[in-house]
């Protein structure tokens, strides 16, 4: 049979059976232990250690013991969802994950086994969290970094797709070359074409000199195309050619240029739906989705909030020239209760807003309630097909955000291009007033 590669320490029999059922799919062998954790002859080959039947109070001690015995492994602690705040005790331990034990056993076992396929020593730095979702994300990022395949990052706004793209670049063989970030939603179609492909002098009004595009300036590095779902149909065929043939022409030029960079793309748009609605080319979608990584929302990784808090507070305080405040007992539970529709970006913005007036006072739930105030709930998720209400909802959102299209898009849960289209279609302006 060989030595085990997965060790389950005082784990519930139902979850043990789930590991037994799927471990062979990942080429791993399972052993169960209880009581004292002492089997030094096994430690070298173990890739996953799971610690169960553990109170929140003793979690940190047991994880530290397993970490010492299994230095090359991913070590996972199991806790009920109500006790996940205890993850704040293990935020500084590398190679540690904390998981809600109440999840369905088979999916949980499969997720942890996949996360253990890459040792923690090969994980990307800078991705904060102790949840199994982040452990799995680190594993997939590490796998993507080992090759030059095109990567598609998906997930809600504010989840950290840009950080994931940069982590892939920094772990890859291209890390010493440029990392070029292009926000495809921030530019008009004409400007986006020039930005990506470059242009020749005189190719259009205002083109007073030749300009190299981002595909060229990326060189042998990585080009990150954020909000790829916003690329207009007029450019999709040109971009497809770049992916397929690795070449392009500058605007106004007949000379073919080679594209040497690796492509990573990201979107919060449902591209499967966009393809079905013929808003996005099917062949381009398949070219982009060679290797797809979904970035989990903060709602799916509540155990990471204490770790994110511990990581972000000192940095935010340093930037704002504030001392790190104490936390009132009510503060962390309130953070864990919030749904965080804006994900990590919202969390960081809320923390920064709290720190500005805090002075010497501890952060508490009352201050947090004010910082979490949002526009009326009847503005959120918006179905553009509801023509009878679209005008009023969009108008109210424009008023609530002072005409900020990006904030309106986040508020209504639609792409910025949809907001711009509906503003024009419904005869509204960004400066719509409430009277």
* 168 pLDDT higher than 80: yes
Query: What pLDDT, in 10s, does the model give residues 110-150?
Result: 999 998 888 887 888 778 888 888 888 999 999 999 999 99
Alpha helix segments (H runs only) across 172-270: 189-197, 214-217, 233-245
pLDDT band of residue 402 (cuts 50, 70, 90) is confident
Q: What percent of the chain has pLDDT over 70?
A: 85
At residue 100 the predicted structure's pLDDT band, cuts being 50, 70 and 90, is: confident
Q: 127 near 141, Cβ under 8 Å? A: yes
The pLDDT of residue 91 is above 70: no
Q: Which residues contact 379 (CB under 8 A, 6 or more apart)?
A: 393, 396, 397, 400, 411, 412
| CA 326 centroid distance within chain | 29
The CATH class of 6-122 is alpha beta
Model pLDDT, residue 380: 46
pLDDT of residue 167: 94
Q: Please, what's the largest Cα pairwise distance for the chain?
A: 77
pLDDT at res. 92: 56
Q: pLDDT band at 377, cuts 50/70/90?
A: very low
Question: CB-based contacts of 75: which residues, under 8 Å, 6+ apart?
Answer: 48, 49, 50, 51, 63, 66, 67, 95, 96, 97
pLDDT of residue 205: 66
Confidence class for position 69, pLDDT limits 50, 70, 90: confident
Task: Label each residue of 331-357 as H, E or C.
Answer: HHHHHHHCCCCCHHHHHHHHHHHHHCC
Which pLDDT does position 379 carry in this prediction?
A: 44
pLDDT one-digit tens code per residue, 210-229 = 778 888 999 999 999 999 99
Identify which has the larger pLDDT, 226 or 390: 226
- Asked if the domains 146-294 and 298-371 are classified in one and the same CATH topology, the answer is no
Q: Could you give the angle at the alpha carbon of 280 between the alpha carbons of 277 and 285, nearest 5°? A: 120
So what's the pLDDT on residue 394?
79
CATH class of 298-371: mainly alpha
Q: What is the radius of gyration, based on Cα positions, of the chain?
A: 25
d(CA 49, CA 63): 9
pLDDT at 202: 63
> Judging by beta carbons within 10 Å of its beta carbon (0-12, 13-18, 19+), is residue 20 exposed, middle or buried?
middle
Residues 6+ apart with CB under 8 A from 419: 394, 405, 408, 409, 412
Confidence of residue 101 (pLDDT cuts 50, 70, 90): confident
When the pLDDT of each residue in the chain is averaged and rounded to a whole number, the result is 83
Query: What is residue 85's predicted lDDT score, i.e. its pLDDT?
Result: 63
Q: pTM value?
A: 0.77
pLDDT at 433: 41
Report, as an integer, the average pLDDT of 409-413: 73
Question: What does the pLDDT average to over 228-234?
Answer: 89
Identify the three-state secondary structure at position 103.
Answer: coil
Domain ranges of the chain: 6-122, 146-294, 298-371, 377-425
| Assigned CATH for 146-294 | 3.40.50.300
Given a cut of 70, whether residue 270 has pLDDT beyond it is yes
Per-residue confidence band for 431, with pLDDT thresholds at 50, 70 and 90: low
């Amino acid at each position: 049979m060989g030595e085990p590669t997965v060790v389950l320490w005082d784990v519930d029999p139902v979850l043990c059976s789930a590991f037994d059922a799927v471990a062979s799919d990942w080429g791993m062998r399972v052993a169960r232990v209880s009581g004292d954790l002492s089997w030094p002859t096994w430690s070298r080959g173990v890739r996953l250690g799971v610690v169960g039947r553990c109170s929140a109070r003793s979690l940190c001690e047991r994880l530290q013991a397993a970490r010492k015995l299994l230095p090359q492994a991913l070590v996972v602690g199991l806790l009920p969802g109500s006790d996940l705040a205890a993850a704040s005790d293990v935020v500084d331990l590398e190679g540690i994950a904390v998981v809600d034990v109440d999840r369905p056993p088979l999916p949980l076992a499969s997720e942890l086994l996949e996360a253990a396929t890459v040792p923690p020593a090969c994980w990307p730095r800078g991705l904060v969290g102790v949840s199994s979702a982040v452990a799995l994300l680190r594993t997939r990022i590490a796998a993507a970094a080992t090759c030059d395949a095109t990567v598609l990052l998906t997930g809600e706004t504010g989840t950290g797709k840009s950080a994931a793209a940069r982590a892939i670049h920094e772990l890859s063989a291209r890390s010493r070359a440029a990392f070029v970030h292009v926000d495809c939603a921030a530019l008009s179609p004409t400007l986006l074409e020039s930005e990506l492909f470059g242009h020749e002098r005189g190719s259009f009004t205002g083109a007073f000199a030749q300009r190299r595009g981002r595909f060229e300036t990326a060189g042998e590095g990585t080009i990150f195309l954020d909000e790829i779902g916003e690329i207009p149909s007029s450019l999709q065929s040109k971009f497809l050619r770049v992916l397929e043939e690795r070449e392009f022409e500058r605007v106004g030029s007949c000379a073919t240029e080679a594209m040497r960079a690796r492509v990573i793309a990201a979107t919060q748009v449902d591209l499967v739906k966009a393809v079905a609605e013929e808003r996005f080319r099917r062949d381009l979608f398949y070219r982009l989705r060679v290797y797809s990584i979904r970035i989990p929302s903060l709602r799916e990784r509540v155990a990471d909030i204490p770790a994110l808090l511990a990581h972000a507070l000192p940095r935010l305080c340093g930037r704002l020239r504030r001392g790190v405040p104490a936390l009132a007992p009510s503060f962390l539970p309130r953070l864990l209760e919030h749904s965080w529709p804006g994900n990590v970006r919202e969390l960081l913005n809320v923390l920064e807003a709290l720190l500005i007036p805090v002075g010497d006072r501890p952060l508490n739930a009352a201050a947090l309630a004010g910082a979490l105030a949002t526009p009326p709930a009847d503005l959120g998720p918006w179905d553009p097909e509801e023509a009878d209400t679209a005008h009023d909802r969009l108008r109210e959102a424009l008023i609530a955000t002072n005409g900020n299209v990006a904030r309106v898009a986040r508020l209504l849960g639609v792409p910025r291009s949809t907001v711009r289209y509906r503003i024009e279609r419904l005869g509204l302006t960004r400066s719509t007033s409430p009277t």
